[in-house]
Amino acid sequence: MERFESNPLLLDRLLYEQRSMRLSWQPLIALHLLACLSSEAAPVRASFLNDSKALSETVGLLRAADCTSEGVEAFRRAVERYNSSGIDLNVSAFPSLRQGFYSFGSMSQLVAALPHKLCDTKHPYEFNCFDTVIAITADRLRVSRRDDEIVGPILVPNNKTNGQFKISTVFNAKEAFMLAYPIWYRQITEGTLPKSTGDSRRPLTAALLRCHTLSTNGIDKDVGRAVIDSLRASWKRQGLGFPKNVEVVLCHEVSVPKGLLCTAHAGVLVRRERGYTYLEKAGGSGPFVRLDIEDRSDLLPWLSAIFEAGKFGYTHHFATFNDTTISPLEVNKPQ
């Protein structure tokens, strides 16, 4: 296992391979770039799913969206376990709670009402955003590669030190999974996911929670295009197939000078008769969150607030919706 940062020759080789790669397939659907500004005035409902009625309604929504019963139950159990010890979050700036939901006039109002980043909530770290997505999309989000199949190089962020991750190189999903998740987290989450994901959890984790070399083809004109092209090529090599009943939302941090992009967060977007519902497990020890919005673009200010501009050298941030849509995130500099 080779540490990525300690070997610039490896980076140069990977970047050369990425630049010289020719994609043999064409996307079936067009790339869209959404604008963050279009959603500032749209209303939003928010819930931390610590109300039984709100959780029951959410479970029903997922079942109506053709999520498997096993996957929905795994999600429900994870939410109930987290909320059983309470949520240490000051909501004094929130409007009154009604039937388990807070209603805001816009997403920016909701973000402004948060006392701190949700990832800083004091709570045991029990279940992360990627496992939440894997549970909800059980048997719908698919991967065709075995966990011991060579699909590398896979660049894995791991071993958090002083707020930073180092990046190591492995060559199959089993190695990536073991490196990304420390033994204590594997022990805590063992048996929490649907049994049907037993063979797919490792390759799915390796496909989602990872870094990628960034294609430099046309990057000076369109960073978003370079990002989605790089992601699609990587997902194809790992045999990742996205669900049709819901959308997997992934957030990516990009360093153009380093030619690197890392997937840092994940959630699920469910289409309703009118509008959308977004579900996530907030990063770190943060709570489970449900957001009811009118349009995909309404979600962008929420996702943007996760990050800080320039932190760890990242120059751009993006959100992808399945493998069809990419949108830039307008990330603010720290105050």
Would you say residue 333 lies in a domain? no
Would you say residue 334 lies in a domain? no
Would you say residue 30 lies in a domain? no
What token pair was written down for 243? 């669900």
Tell me, what DSSP letter sits at residue 287? P
Q: What is the pLDDT of residues 262-281, one digit of tens each?
A: 999 999 999 999 999 999 99
Would you say residue 155 lies in a domain? yes
List per-block mean pLDDT (blocks of 10 residues) for the chain, which spans 335 residues.
Answer: 34 36 34 41 94 97 97 96 94 96 97 95 93 96 92 83 75 94 93 87 96 85 94 94 98 95 97 96 94 97 93 92 97 75
pLDDT at site 26: 36
Number of folded domains that form the chain: 1
Would you say residue 27 lies in a domain? no
pLDDT at site 309: 86
* SS3 state of residue 136: helix
* SS3 state of residue 154: strand
Q: What is the pLDDT of residues 283-329, one digit of tens each?
A: 889 999 999 999 999 999 999 999 988 888 899 999 999 999 999 99
Tell me, what DSSP letter sits at residue 295? S
pLDDT at site 6: 35
pLDDT at site 162: 55
pLDDT at site 278: 98
pLDDT at site 313: 87
Containing domain of residue 70, as a range? 2-10+38-328
Dihedral sign computed on CA atoms, order 239, 245, 32, 214: negative
pLDDT at site 77: 96
pLDDT at site 21: 36
User: Residue type for 119, please?
Assistant: C
Would you say residue 28 lies in a domain? no
Would you say residue 26 lies in a domain? no
SS3 per-residue string spanning 98-109: ECCEEEECCHHH
Q: Where are the alpha helices (DSSP H) in 48-181?
A: 52-64, 69-83, 107-113, 129-136, 173-180
C-beta contacts of 156-160 below 8 A and 24+ residues apart: 156/180, 156/206, 156/209, 156/210, 156/211, 157/209, 157/210, 157/211, 157/262
Dihedral sign computed on CA atoms, order 235, 233, 31, 326: positive
pLDDT at site 164: 62
Would you say residue 21 lies in a domain? no
